[in-house]
Structures are given as C-alpha cells and as structure tokens.
Chains A and B, each alone.
Chain A
Amino acid sequence: MLDRPHLQRVKGEARVALGRAGLRDLRQAGSAKAMLPRVDGAEPEVVFLNTAGGVTAGDRLDYALALGPGARAVGATQTAERAYRAPDGRGRIETLLTVGAGAHLDWLPQETILFEGAGLDRVTEVELAEGATFLGVDTLVLGRAAHGETLRDVRLEDRRRVTRGGVPLHEEHLSLDAGALADPAALGGARALATLVLIAPDAADRLAGLRAALPAPSVRAAVSAWEGRLVARLAAPDPAPLRRALISAIVALRGTPMPRVWQTDD
C-alpha cells in the first residue's frame, strides 16, 4: 500500500440512518462510503469505507450511524484504517453513533494502523437514548507488522465517549506521543491494543463468559464490569493473535458469527 503521504487532501463523510424497518437515510460525499451488504442474519449491517485507504495531515473523515427507536444493527468498517506519516499536521476522523430508545448497536470497526510519524485526532461519540444498549470495540495497531516497524514518533489523540442524556457513561482517551512510545512502563512492548465496551443493564452478567473466552496465547487481556458497563482490554506484541482473541471475545458476547468483512485471513 502507500508508504508515503499522498499530497491530495482527503475529505469525506458518510451518514446512515436506520429505523426498525430498515434504511431511512444514506448520504455520502468524498472518499467516505457506506454500504449495506445483504446479510443472512436478522440485523442489518452497515459497512463504512475510506476509499482513500488512509488519512494524513489535513484529511478529514466523518462517519455517522443513527439507529431509530427499537432498531438493531451492526456497524463495521470494510478494512483497516491507516494513519500515514503526517509530518506537517494531523488527520481527523470523527464518528458519531446515535442509538435510539430501546435500540442496540454493535459497533465493530476493524483496526486502525498507525504508521511511523502518523498524526491523528480521532473522536468517537456514542449517544444512547433511554434503554439503548451498545457494544463497541476499537483496535489500534502500532506500526506495520509486516514491515517489522517499531513506532518511535506518532501523535495520537483518540477520544471515545459514550453518553446517555448528555451524561458520560464511559470514556476512553488514549494519548500517544514519542515519550509514551519510548516508555516501556507505558505500553509494555504492546504493538496492538484493543478495547471492548458493552453498555447494558445486564453487563455484569456477561463478565464470567467473557473472561472464559479471553485467555489467548501471546495476548494480555483483562475484563471488568461495574455500573452497567463491561470493559475488556487486550494488548499484544503482535496484531494477529490480538485480532483472533478479540474475535473470540466478540463472538462470545454476541453469539453470532462476525460480520463478513471481518471474515478474512489474519
């Protein structure tokens, strides 16, 4: 793929709204696309794609997925997102997920790969209405594994927030720079990190099942549940075992196969 920053700035937005009866609205512009593949299961899938393949300084992508009251859907990305070297700034990716009353969203994007020198601001906002539930994952790969790349310098601000009625229920904010990458006590040699978050009244009941699904070779994983949230964190020196462990965890929680876009080799 592209090894160097491309000079043409990437802009794109893709916004999808689904109701209980299906698609209500789809708007897309620039290099962001959204697709609704035909699926065997009962729940529709919405797959987002950045046709530019990645982001660099000055790029801006906006994704939005809105579920109406009572709707259920799976959101995913077609492939890994790439944050290329961005010597003169940062790219920005914003994702807004709104989940209507009593609705449920499984947000299962594939990994984001940070290249050496990447600069990325990412904001993922999840707004839940009353009675809405949410499962979300996020995977960050530090450097191109195939190139044996060890990151020394990136600038990442990655904010993820789940709110209900404006009240924050869960927040993650990963902030990486050269200092953090150089500190073995910060990342512990991990080159792949994943977080899984379930916001649901029965989140604590899922704790034992998720713990049982997670032990995996070469992956450090831990799970906690409290106050209606279930959180799992995974870290590994290599992305492939982490991806397998994350898939096991997601399958254990959902009880259904992964979306087709995930069913590739690893």
Chain B
Amino acid sequence: MATDARWATPMNTDLLRLTQWLSPAFPVSGYAYSHGLETAMAEGRVRNGAEVARWVRAVIERGAGPLDAWAIRHVIGGGDPEEVAATLRARAGCAERWQEMRDQGAAFCATTNAMGEPPLADLPLPVALGLRARGMAAETVVLLYLQAFAAQMVSAATRFLPLGQAEAQTLLRDLHPFLMTTAARDDPLPPGSAAMVAELDAMAHETLQPRIFRT
C-alpha cells in the first residue's frame, strides 16, 4: 500500500480527496456520534483513557469496524452498492446505529454531490465512501476510514471524560496496530461481530438521559 504508485504520483490527488472526506472538518457531523460510547461513560464503565482504548478497540476489531471495512472494500471492488447498503441496514443492531451510518452517509453524499462529484442518492457512509473511492487502493481507504472512525469515538471521550488532548492522541496512536489488522482483512462475506457490550451500549443510548451525543 505504501509502495502503491498511486500515492507516490505527485499529480494524483486521490490521497488528498480521501483525507478531505475523512477529515473531522468534512460536514457529516461526525462529532455528534459516540457509537454508544456515551452510555458506557455515563454508566461509569468507561472512566479513563485505558478503558476508552479497550472499548474502541473492541469496536474496531470485533464490532462495526470489520463490517464497515468489508462494505468499503466490497463496493470499491465493484460490489452492488444497493446490496451492500441493504446488508448494513439489516445488520444495524438498533435504531441509533442505523441513524448514525444513514445520516452521516446522507450528509457525505449531499456534500460531495454539491462539490460536483457524480450525483449519489443517500447511502450509508461506508457504501458512499466506497463508491467515491472506486479506483483507489482499498486497504488505504479502509485504513483511513477506520482511523477517522476511531478518532471520532476518542473525540467523544475527550468531551465527556477528563482526558487530556495528548493522552487522547496517544491512545489513538496506540490503536494503530489494530486499525492495520482490521484494514488488512479481506473478508469475502460480511464478517460477524462479538462486540456485545458496545451493541448493548448503543441500544441503551436511546433511553439515556441526559445525553450530549446523537448515538
């Protein structure tokens, strides 16, 4: 991947487009979603950097991470976006999980449409990203997506817990090996999940009061 000539070509803007789409500044309101982490923090099960790292790692290794990675790879590889979207929708474990990927995907489609890309109807975020990234190296797209996803959860933690910026960035850096492992997976079929705690947290978030995140 690092040796892929695409990224070495100075005239190629793929990497710039990709990092722009996955930047926290890209208007998909990523800051508004905690993926259920808010429940774990509010209930006192995730209280510090080490516990945030464990929770996020479980999601990246065994929760939405591998499934999103499969979806992005499958769409980049020519898979039917509607079919992949249907699978993600069916596998969304609760209302807010579906809302999170649907609403961010719709915002991603709307913004990229407005930027003059070929028009896309609303699709869940991993599917929309995969379509926009067709022609790019799939593993790089997945890796940067997973980093953005992990960063979004870590960022949610910094707004809830007394977690310093340097500590937050360090724990995100320390998640890199797990992002690499998940990005390197090439599941032919949608992979399963074992992140039951995160599933329950996401589901219980619906009734969490008060709450500062949408999920």
The residues of A with any CB-CB pair to B shorter than 8 Å are 157-159, 161-162, 167-177, 179-180, 183-188, 190, 193, 211, 220, 222-227, 231, 233, 235
Q: Given the complex, which residues of A lie within 8 Å of B87, measured CB to CB? A: 168, 171
Q: Select one of A177, A179, A186, A227 contacting B196, CB under 8 A.
A: A186
User: With A211-B207, A233-B203 known to touch, is A161 a contact of B197 (CB < 8 Å)?
Assistant: no
Q: Is the CB of B195 within 8 A of A186?
A: yes
Q: Contact check, B90 vs A233: say whether CB atoms are below 8 A apart.
A: no
* Nearest B residue (CB) for A234: B200
Q: Is B17 an interface residue (CB 8 A)?
A: no
CB contacts (< 8 Å) of A225 on chain B: these are 95
CB-based contact A185/B203 at 8 Å: no
**Which residues 179-198 in B have Cβ within 8 Å of A in the complex?**
190-198
29 contacts between A and B (CB under 8 A): A158-B192, A159-B192, A167-B86, A168-B90, A172-B91, A172-B93, A173-B91, A173-B190, A173-B193, A174-B193, A175-B194, A176-B194, A180-B62, A183-B62, A185-B57, A186-B62, A186-B197, A188-B197, A188-B200, A190-B196, A211-B207, A222-B94, A224-B96, A224-B203, A226-B94, A233-B199, A233-B200, A235-B196, A235-B197
A168 contacts B86, CB within 8 Å? yes
User: Which are the 4 A-B pairs with shortest beta-carbon distances?
Assistant: A175-B192, A224-B94, A168-B90, A180-B194
Q: B54: CB under 8 A from chain A? A: yes
Q: How far is the CB of A207 from chain B (nearest CB, A)?
A: 9
> In this assembly, does B204 line the interface, its C-beta being within 8 Å of a C-beta of chain A?
yes
| Residues 53 to 71 of chain B near chain A (Cβ within 8 Å) | 54-55, 57-58, 61-62
Main secondary structure of the interface of B (DSSP, over half): helix
Residue with the highest number of chain A CB atoms closer than 10 Å, among B94, B192, B198, B207: B192
CB pair B200–A222 under 8 Å, yes or no, is yes
What is the chain B residue whose CB lies nearest that of A227? Answer: B98
With both chains docked as a complex, state the minimum distance between the C-beta of A225 and any C-beta of chain B, in angstroms: 7
Residue of A nearest to B56 (CB): A185
Q: In the bound complex, how far is the Cα of B195 from the Cα of A173, in angstroms?
A: 11
Contact B206 A224 (CB under 8 A): yes
> Which A residues touch B57, using CB under 8 A?
185
| Contact string against A for B residues 81-105, beta-carbon threshold 8 Å, 1 for contact and 0 otherwise | 0000011011101111010000000
B132 to chain A, nearest CB (A): 24
Decide yes or no: A157 and B86 within 8 Å by CB, A184-B54, A222-B200, A226-B94 being known contacts. no
**What residue of chain B has the Cβ atom nearest to residue A226's Cβ?**
B95
**Chain B residues whose C-beta falls within 8 Å of the C-beta of A227 in the assembled complex:** 98
CB neighbours (8 Å) of B203 from chain A are 222-224, 231, 233
Given A175-B193, A224-B95, A224-B96, 18 extra CB contacts under 8 A = A168-B86, A168-B89, A171-B190, A172-B91, A175-B191, A179-B61, A179-B62, A183-B62, A184-B54, A185-B197, A185-B198, A187-B197, A190-B196, A231-B93, A231-B94, A231-B203, A233-B199, A233-B200
**Nearest chain B CB to A85's CB is how many angstroms away?**
20
Closest residue on chain A to residue B66 by CB atoms? A175
Interface residues of B in 150-200 (CB under 8 A from A): 190-200
Instruction: Please indicate the chain B residues that have their CB under 8 angstroms from the CB of A187 in the complex.
Output: 194, 196-197
Q: Which B residues are in CB contact (< 8 Å) with A223?
A: 203
Given contacts A185-B58, A186-B62, A225-B95, contact A173 B199 (CB under 8 A): no
Choice from B95, B96, B196 contacting A193 with Cβ under 8 Å: B196
Give bound CA distance, A97 to B95, whole Å: 25
Residues of B within 8 A of A179 (CB): 61-62
Q: Give chain A nearest CB distance to B43 CB in angstroms.
A: 10
Q: How far is the CA of A173 from the CA of B63 in the complex (A)?
A: 11
Smallest CB-CB separation from B57: which chain A residue?
A: A185
In the complex, which residues 135-162 of chain B have their Cβ closer than 8 Å to any Cβ of chain A?
none
